[in-house]
Homo-oligomer: A and B are copies of this chain.
Amino acid sequence: MTGLQGRHFLSTLDFSVDEVTGLVDLALDLKRSRRSAALERMVSVLLFFNPSVRTRVSCEAAMVRYGGSAITIQPGKDTWNFEAGEGVVMDGNTQEHVRELAPVLSRMANFIGIRKCELITVGNDKATVTGSYPELARDFFMHRLAEFSEVPVINLESNRFHPMQGLADMATMRERFPEPRGTKYVLTWAWHPKSLPVATPHSQLLSAADLGMDVTVLRPEGWSLEPAVLAAARARAESRGGSVRETDDIAAAYRGAKVVCAKAWGSLDYYGRFDEEVRRKQPLRADWIVDEAKMARTDDAIFMHCLPVRRNVVVADGVLDSRRGVVVDEAENRVWTAAAVFAALGGRVR
C-alpha cells in the first residue's frame, strides 16, 4: 500500500480506484490472517459527535486486535465545545479551536477519527440542521480538523460520505463476486420515518462503482443523490467497464440484480423541512419496502444494508433472515476494512 501512509481518509474520491481496491484486498488479507502486531502500540482518538455501534466497535476492535488501542470521545459531553472558524473572537459558547485540537491530538495519537453528521439521531428524535445541504456537505469542521492535523484523519461518517462503510461493502461483494465487473447492483431507496443522511448511500454508490459494477440507483422522483457524487461514481464505474443509472422503475430495477442494497435517505430537495418531507413520502411507504416478492424478481441477489435497519419498514423479516441476507457479514467486514485503513495510513504494511 505504498503512497497511502500519512494521508487522510475523508472520501474514497480522494484516492484512485486502484488505491481503494488495494485497501479492500488488504482488508481481506487481514481477515484471513487475523492476528498480527500491525497496529502495535498505536492509538486512535475517535471523536463521536453522534451515536454509533458498528463504527465505534469496529474501529476499537480493529485497533485492539492488532495490538493498538482506541480512545473514544463524545465532544460537548465529555469535552469542550469546539470552534473551527477563522479569526473568531471566542467569547461565546465555543472553548477550543480546531487549530489547537487537531495538532494536540496528533501528538497524543496516531489517528484521529471523526463522526460528525447533522442527521444522525437516536430513536425518533428529529434532527435540526444548522444549514442548507450544500453548506453542510462541505463538512467544514472535518476538513478543518484534517487541515491542522499532523496525523491521518479518518471520516467515520460526515454529512457527505461514509467511506468506511463503503470499503466494508466492497469487501463483502468481493468475497461473493471475485470479479464483480458488470454485475448488476441495485441501490434502492427505502421509506423511513425520519430523514436520514446521504453519506452512506453516497459511499455505497461509490463502492459499487469502484468495483466496475452495473449500478442502478432506484429512488422516487425527488430523492436523487447529489449530482456531483453521481457524476463521480459514473466516471469511476466507466473507467472499470461498469455503469451508473438512476431510475424510479421498481420492477425493472430489480430484474436481473445480483445485489440489492437498501438504504433510507432524506431528500436533498426538502433538506431541513423534514415535516414536509414526511408528508410527501407517506404514499411511498407501501411500495418501497424490500420484500420477498421484489427479491424474487432478481437473479438470486444478495441483500445488503449498512445497519441499523428498521425491520418490516425498510426490509421484510423474510428477506433479512433468508440465506441471501448478508448484513452480518457486511458488518463484520467493518472490522477488517478499518484495520486495513489504520495499517495502510499508519505505514504499518508495505
Contact = CB atoms under 8 A, between A and B. Distances in A.
Interface stretch (A63-71, A234-242, A251-259): A63-71
A231 interface: no
A126 interface: no
Interface centre among A56, A88, A93, A108 (most CB of B within 10 A): A108
Interface of A: 35, 41, 43, 45, 48, 51-54, 56-58, 60-61, 64-65, 67-69, 71, 73-74, 76-81, 83, 87-97, 99-101, 103-105, 107-109, 122-124, 193, 307-313, 317, 320-321, 327-329, 331-332, 334-335
Given A87-B317, A107-B335, A108-B331, 20 more contacts: A48-B78, A51-B78, A51-B80, A52-B79, A53-B80, A61-B109, A64-B68, A79-B122, A81-B122, A89-B311, A90-B310, A91-B310, A93-B124, A95-B122, A96-B309, A97-B308, A99-B311, A101-B308, A107-B328, A107-B331
A281 B48 CA distance: 37
A104 B41 CA distance: 26
Given A65-B43, A97-B311, A100-B327, A71 B60 contact: yes
A308 B95 contact: yes
Nearest to A124: B93
Contacts of A61: 43, 71, 108-109
A105 B309 contact: no
A313 B96 CA distance: 12
A79 B95 contact: no
Contacts of A310: 90-91, 95
